[in-house]
């Protein structure tokens, strides 16, 4: 099994999509929050790159669909929910369809629709994601969403965690150099992920916006068992 990690969406080419399973990682916070939302009872999730198309989708889907997401880390005006995992309680989202639009995460997801299988991964669901990958029987691409096309510390560490868990189940994978770098970074810091997450550029912005508890939540390993998986209906289910 070939496993390639891409540090940013700028590296994405067709060869990383065709006949492959792809995992998009935006640990702060989009893919962490979407994993939590499905675990807490959301019916399904559709992701959109832009605000206008999200609003148009809500008009099509009707009142059971909530508009979710952020720009600049803040809830988009007129949307129902922002991008904090703490907003996605069972009481708020049970049985709802969620339309997600975020700055980096859902844009990266929009670039991957040609892949055979699309999953959403993070540190919170790292082990569960690795199990899905080990079972899928395909070559694998790990796409870190990064921050505005730059490498991000938290996505790289989350990729390292997922690949370390994968390596434990499927020991004969062939990794690209970026995957090896991510695994090394994770091994060296496996017990200090919260402290490391807090140092990253995007975390600093979230701290400034009083979202430090989101950063600490998203730095927790393997606390979520759901792995959003893109299905034929165009929605992510778990």
What residue ranges bind ligand MLT (CB under 6 A)? 26, 28-30, 70, 73, 83, 102-105, 206
Task: Give bridge partners of residue 143 from the DSSP assignment.
Answer: 6, 24
Instruction: Supply the minimum distance, in Å, between the C-beta of residue 196 and ligand MLT.
Output: 16
Instruction: Supply the minimum distance, in Å, between the C-beta of residue 168 and ligand MLT.
Output: 28
- Give the CA angle between residues 59, 233, 148 to the nearest 5°: 75
How far is it between the farthest Cα atoms of the chain? 49
C-alpha closest to that of 127 among 160, 167, 157, 165: 165
Instruction: Supply the minimum distance, in Å, between the C-beta of residue 234 and ligand MLT.
Output: 19
Residue 1 or residue 216: which is nearer to ligand MLT going by CB? 216
The one-character DSSP state at 114 is T
Residue 70 or residue 139: which is nearer to ligand MLT going by CB? 70
Counting Cα atoms < 13 Å in the Cβ hemisphere of 136 gives 25
3-state secondary structure of 229: strand
C-alpha closest to that of 223 among 146, 133, 122: 122
C-alpha closest to that of 232 among 117, 100, 68, 101: 117
Residue 3 or residue 37: which is nearer to ligand MLT going by CB? 37
Between CA 45 and CA 61 the distance in angstroms is 12
Between CA 110 and CA 49 the distance in angstroms is 6
Residue 103 or residue 226: which is nearer to ligand MLT going by CB? 103
Instruction: Supply the minimum distance, in Å, between the C-beta of residue 107 and ligand MLT.
Output: 7
Residue 25 or residue 115: which is nearer to ligand MLT going by CB? 25
Instruction: Supply the minimum distance, in Å, between the C-beta of residue 73 and ligand MLT.
Output: 5
Instruction: Supply the minimum distance, in Å, between the C-beta of residue 203 and ligand MLT.
Output: 9
Whether residue 157 contacts residue 185, with contact meaning beta carbons closer than 8 Å, is answered with yes
Residue 9 or residue 105: which is nearer to ligand MLT going by CB? 105
């Amino acid at each position: 099994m070939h496993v390639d990690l891409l540090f940013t969406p700028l590296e994405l080419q067709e060869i990383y999509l065709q006949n492959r399973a792809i995992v998009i990682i935006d640990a702060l916070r989009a893919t962490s929050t979407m994993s939590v939302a499905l675990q807490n009872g959301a019916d399904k999730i559709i992701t959109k790159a832009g605000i206008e198309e999200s609003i148009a989708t809500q008009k099509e889907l009707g009142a059971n669909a909530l508009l979710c997401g952020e720009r600049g880390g803040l809830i988009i005006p007129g949307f129902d929910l922002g991008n904090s995992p703490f907003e996605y309680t069972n009481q708020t989202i049970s049985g709802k369809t969620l339309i997600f639009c975020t700055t980096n995460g859902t844009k990266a997801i929009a670039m991957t629709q040609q892949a055979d299988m699309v999953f959403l991964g993070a540190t919170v669901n790292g082990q569960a994601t690795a199990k899905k990958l080990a079972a899928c029987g395909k070559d694998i691409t790990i796409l870190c969403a990064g921050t505005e096309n730059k490498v991000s510390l938290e996505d790289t560490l989350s990729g390292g965690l997922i690949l370390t868990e994968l390596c434990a189940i499927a020991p004969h994978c062939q990794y690209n150099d970026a995957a090896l770098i991510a695994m090394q970074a994770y091994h060296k810091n496996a017990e200090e992920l919260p402290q490391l997450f807090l140092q990253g550029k995007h975390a600093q912005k979230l701290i400034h916006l009083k979202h430090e508890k989101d950063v600490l939540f998203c730095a927790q390993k393997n606390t979520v068992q759901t792995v959003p998986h893109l299905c034929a209906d165009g929605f992510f289910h778990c």
